[in-house]
Structure 1
């Protein structure tokens, strides 16, 4: 066949452009881990910077003095002092990629320490804001200045106390060059580059701390593990440390719903986005990629102020694990009883964090090191929570573990193994595929720490099963308790039966640890024991109140936080303005349903549930709930 000159030129151009024209899920990039091993990961499109949902306030390299008393937006806290703002400062990373950062610092030229907030959420405003969350999660607009990036420290407070706050757009975010990465060795090296850049600035005293919650906490685990020279202290405020085990594949079940929701909010002007939701469904076993998403916590030696809670469905386990496993000799844990955002911006907690940073970033002798190592909360739904109880460690050394043996469904567990064997079952596709067990407390009881469920099961109609476990407190008359959002207050666990293989070196009596490297399908008629990890919890029970255990067929839950929906008005020029002045404003946001490419959206894979699930108790089948009971001091 003879090809015309025009068609030949077109074919050549098509060949040159082909990599760019492939569907995003087929485009890949190569990453490497700390050992130098390389692996390919898929890429997807990110939203453009002019998409309403990402609320990008624009690229503008300028230096401003933000005057005391001015505001960033209507209703926000007025600035308590003058602030020097340097916008969109370029930072060249080790491989030549340029990213951009905002720096808020005192107007004088005295050296000061800096606090780094590392995330892809925008230097301020951005695609995720508390305004998108119902009731702003209890944080009033007036509680912060609006200069902070989402989940990060408020520059207005910290600059007023002699600190700089550095808010970068990490690699690939907004106008920063490159592809946008999740956590891992390469992203951590980027963070190290920025820390060393900060320390080299003439205004810096050479000491850098890190602060923030969620993504900003996860980043701290990874970056601190690389031991950058000028990182002096960290404050991880709720964040997982092993993405596979604690977020994407709890119990071996792929759970892309929450990561997909977050991925759809990201924006990049120059690159693409590491398609982690796709990796969740395409790489369901532990591999080099997922090993790179587990922080090397034992490498962390800097002082650490760690904050955790029992009720965060993403971060609870990882925050406690981070505190326990880091090698820092100077580390503190505080367990609160509210939510991560409310706790992070509460004035008394900000003041406490400043005492920590004052000591380690400013060398102020303020007695911080005499602070008790652990401040613990214990939840008491229907009553008064215990808050800030002083302890020496976590888990508590005085814990008395107790086995509650299960018998027939809807019956009361016992502290002794029932002799009679029973089988309880449900149809996994039914409207209420579950069984429950209730234990009425005979005296006031505290349960605080790690739980597990040892459960004998079979799936007569299938070769696998996905289970969801819930441990909660009920009132004396059997009614559940709810938090302010309407959710039940419960400790949870998940397990795919075929992923039950334990790592015998890391498993303890109270804490199962799975390999996730092999699949053990159920054989017809096979009855197997599962060791199901239940995340840490602290619960108080009064006499006659009820502990309820629920075993049910797992079903994916939609993640539907309307990020990008709130409309935020800020000044077109000048950054801040005097409250009440008539200034030209630009309004950002208002489209939470926008995504870069609907064809790239990752949906939940089918569960491994089909037909009947059977639970075996009593006699040969010692199914039990393992409880951490805490005696009084």
Structure 2
């Protein structure tokens, strides 16, 4: 939680005296239940509030974490030189008409549609041939239209699938800290975003698609000023650049990533309503030809 604000602080605060620790836990556990985090917080405050010479400056500047999902424990405290990682390989995976993601855009134009007023989605899957790590800020570039309305609220959700194609979840606190042994043991009341994570999300209202490059902290996290509305002409295709919350996930060979484009969130959410949505009718995701809709993923090796 609050991860994108932490990243903005890391990138934009103009001082050499800053540190970034990307941990795998929900914030409350990390603050109150993680002995390492508590000790480091007191050491930091001791150094800069009390002037103690306690060796804080020897703390690695940047540390990452990798979620593995399922019953596997995450990997913590991976020391890296900077964030985003300097050797990040930003790969574009193009949406295909058969529901997959490919390394090249289709030459033929087509579209996949979904009912924006329901839980339908347009979904696209990529299966990893070898162990892969995705760490950083993804982005979706989508060419979309709506014949039925002058606006669209578009959600992009990335989920992880096991080798059998089943959706995987990640636990936001250590397994040893809860009275259940598997995700199947969770009751509906216990299945909250505080303890469960299914993957990162990106959101954009099409009429607010304007981007201010000068205020964008990264090309994959475009800054939308939200100062004016640019309503859609029904049936006209528009380009949407949708920043997706940062991720740090490891995939084994045979596991898959699936991206959903929809009119509502697929993430774990236990508050709010759908009353704010401005969706009507069918959304079309245009693919190939002059509309090379794609997902940009930050591949790394750490």
Q: Distance in 1 between matches of 2:274 and 2:252?
A: 40
2:219 aligned with 1:509: yes
CA distance in 2, matches of 1:606, 1:387: 37
Q: Which has the higher strand share?
A: 2
* Paired position in structure 1 for 2:30: 343
Counterpart of 2:175 in structure 1 is none
Match of 1:527 in 2: 237
Name stretches of at least 5 consecutive residues in structure 1 with no aligned partner.
1-311, 561-602
Q: How far did residue 624 of structure 1 move? A: 0.3
Question: Which residue of structure 1 aligns with residue 295 of structure 2?
Answer: 625
8 Å Cα contact 2:68/2:170 also seen in 1: no
In the alignment, does 2:66 pair up with 1:378? yes
Between 1 and 2, higher relative CO (CA 8 Å, sep ≥ 6) is seen in 2
**Does the CA-based 8 Å contact 2:95-2:293 persist in structure 1?**
yes
**Cα distance in structure 2, aligned partners of 1:523 and 1:435:** 22
In the other structure, the counterpart of 2:166 is: 479
SS at match of 1:381: coil
Residue matched to 2:127:
440
The whole-number CA distance in structure 2 between the counterparts of 1:488 and 1:367 is 35
Residue of structure 1 equivalent to 2:198: 489
Structure 1 residue 462 and structure 2 residue 111: aligned?
no
Alignment-derived partner of residue 394 in structure 1: 83
Q: Which has the larger radius of gyration?
A: 1
Q: Give the TM-score taking structure 2 as reference length.
A: 0.85
Secondary structure of residue in 1 paired with 2:214: coil
Structure 2: runs of 5 or more not aligned? 172-189
Contact 2:146 2:152 in 1 (8 A): yes
Partner of 1:547 in structure 2?
Answer: 257
Distance 2:73 2:270 in 1: 32
Q: Is structure 2 residue 187 aligned with structure 1 residue 499?
A: no
Shift in alpha-carbon separation, 1:537–1:608, aligned structure 2, 3 A: same
SS in 2 for 1:336: coil
Does structure 2 retain, via aligned residues, the 8 Å contact 1:480–1:488? no
Match of 1:48 in 2: none
- After TM superposition, give the deviation of residue 326 of structure 1 in Å: 1.4
Q: What pairs with 1:117-266 in structure 2 (closer than 5 Å)?
A: none
- CA-CA distance at 1:604 after TM superposition: 6.4
TM-score (norm 1): 0.42
Cα deviation, residue 559, structure 1: 1.8
User: Does structure 2 conserve the Cα–Cα contact (< 8 Å) formed by 1:502 and 1:515?
Assistant: yes
Counterpart in the other structure of 1:425:
113
- Residue 6 of structure 2 aligns with which residue? 319
Paired positions, count: 275
* Matched residue SS, 2:213: coil
Whether the 8 Å CA contact 2:67–2:170 is kept in 1: the answer is no
Partner Cα separation in structure 1 for residue 53 and residue 234 of structure 2: 67
Q: What does residue range 37-48 of structure 1 map to in structure 2 within 5 Å?
A: none
